């Protein structure tokens, strides 16, 4: 009944049979149906929830009625502590009105401990108090890193962190909820998903070369918008940039196609000797190193051209 919860606890503290029985005596199980609310904003969070199975979301509603995803709760190999414990920690710890709503996105089975029972464990079991301290430390570190990422990481980088930490949620959680969790628009998330799908469907060598080229472009123009245009990966160098204001890259069997606009190709014709190029494109062979410095110069040139027209 409580095997998953016991296994989680024992990652942090060792419990003998008597200590576990004390823990277990304060636990109960609850079930919530998809769409059911686990906690209303404004209510006091009186119970600590550990998600055994299912999927839930914590969210905040602003003054305009728009909701923003605060956390996503699930229990699998990708989960960390903040995914497992379904609660508003400030409300629970201080017994004050909650600032978040929590809803079930799937049917959920939850392990429940009341505020009074958690206090009893802390006061009567030394290891229980240590477990609580370790959980508080982990929660702080998670929030610390997440806030820094929101302030310092690009949308692409935040999306890649999400893919690394919670890849399976991309198809399980509605796109709008993931977008607000990442702090980006649903449209931008869609573009990132499409760009990622284009890359992962390439052979490994092609994928690596495309990633190198993408990194070069974004190092020069970090705010470039990634999208799919003409079936290939494109980077709009200005907000809402049309095709002539984009740089495109494409993967092929033996080379990467780089499309930085005919003017750019003409300006760098001498530098491109040794590569096969045409009016608006150049081919970088997969069996040769990517000319990163040259690519950066070409991207910068094209970006400055566009800026001069504003």
User: Is 90 exceeded by the pLDDT of residue 292?
Assistant: yes
Predicted local confidence at residue 310, as pLDDT: 62
185-309 maps to CATH 3.90.1150.200? yes
**For a pLDDT cut of 70, what percent of the chain falls above it?**
100
Selecting from 2.60.120.10, 3.40.50.2000, 1.10.630.10, 3.40.50.720, what CATH number does the domain 3-152 have?
A: 2.60.120.10
Which of 240-249's residues contact partners 24+ apart within 8 Å by CB, and which partners?
241/306, 245/306, 247/217, 247/299, 247/302, 249/210, 249/213, 249/214, 249/217
User: Is 80 exceeded by the pLDDT of residue 96?
Assistant: yes
Over residues 105-122, the pLDDT tens digits come to 999 999 999 999 999 998
Predicted local confidence at residue 94, as pLDDT: 93
User: Is 70 exceeded by the pLDDT of residue 258?
Assistant: yes
| 265 CB-near residues (< 8 Å, 6+ apart) | 272, 277, 278, 279, 280, 281, 282
Predicted local confidence at residue 188, as pLDDT: 87
User: Is 90 exceeded by the pLDDT of residue 251?
Assistant: yes
Predicted local confidence at residue 259, as pLDDT: 95
- Domain map (residue ranges) of the chain: 3-152, 185-309
Over residues 200-226, the pLDDT tens digits come to 889 999 999 999 999 999 999 988 888
User: Is 80 exceeded by the pLDDT of residue 305?
Assistant: yes
Over residues 2-60, the pLDDT tens digits come to 998 998 888 889 989 999 999 999 999 999 999 999 999 999 999 999 999 999 999 99
Give the whole-angstrom CA distance, residue 160 versus residue 156.
6
The residue-averaged pLDDT of 278-288 equals 93
User: Is 90 exceeded by the pLDDT of residue 150?
Assistant: no
Taking the CB of residue 286, how many other CB atoms lie within 10 A of it?
17
**Please, what sign has the CA dihedral across residues 257, 263, 265, 268?**
negative
């Amino acid at each position: 009944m409580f095997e998953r919860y016991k296994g989680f606890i024992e990652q942090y503290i060792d419990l003998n049979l008597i200590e576990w029985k004390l823990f277990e005596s304060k636990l109960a199980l609850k079930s919530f149906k998809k769409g059911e609310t686990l906690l209303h904003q404004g209510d006091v969070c009186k119970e600590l929830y550990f998600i055994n199975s299912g999927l839930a979301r914590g969210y905040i509603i602003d003054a305009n009625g728009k909701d923003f995803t605060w956390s996503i709760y699930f229990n699998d190999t990708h989960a960390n502590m903040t995914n497992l414990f379904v609660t508003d920690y400030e409300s629970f710890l201080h017994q004050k009105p909650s600032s978040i709503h929590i809803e079930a996105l799937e049917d959920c089975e939850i392990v429940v401990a009341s505020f009074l029972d958690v206090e009893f464990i802390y006061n009567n079991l030394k290891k229980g108090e240590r477990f609580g301290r370790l959980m508080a430390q982990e929660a702080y570190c998670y929030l610390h890193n997440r806030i820094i990422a929101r302030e310092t990481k690009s949308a692409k980088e935040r999306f890649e962190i999400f893919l690394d930490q919670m890849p399976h949620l991309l198809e399980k959680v509605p796109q709008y909820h993931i977008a607000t969790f990442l702090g980006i628009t649903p449209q931008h998330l869609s573009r990132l998903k499409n760009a990622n799908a284009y890359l992962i469907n390439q052979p490994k060598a092609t994928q690596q070369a495309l990633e190198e080229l993408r990194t070069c472009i974004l190092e020069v123009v970090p705010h470039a918008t990634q999208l799919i245009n003409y079936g290939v990966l494109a980077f709009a160098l200005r907000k809402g940039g049309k095709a002539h204001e984009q740089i495109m890259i494409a993967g092929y069997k033996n080379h990467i196609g780089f499309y930085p606009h005919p003017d750019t190709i003409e300006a760098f014709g001498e530098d491109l000797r040794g590569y096969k190029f045409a009016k608006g494109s150049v081919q970088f062979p997969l069996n040769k190193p990517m000319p990163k410095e040259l690519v950066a110069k070409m991207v910068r040139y094209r970006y400055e051209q566009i800026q001069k027209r504003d």
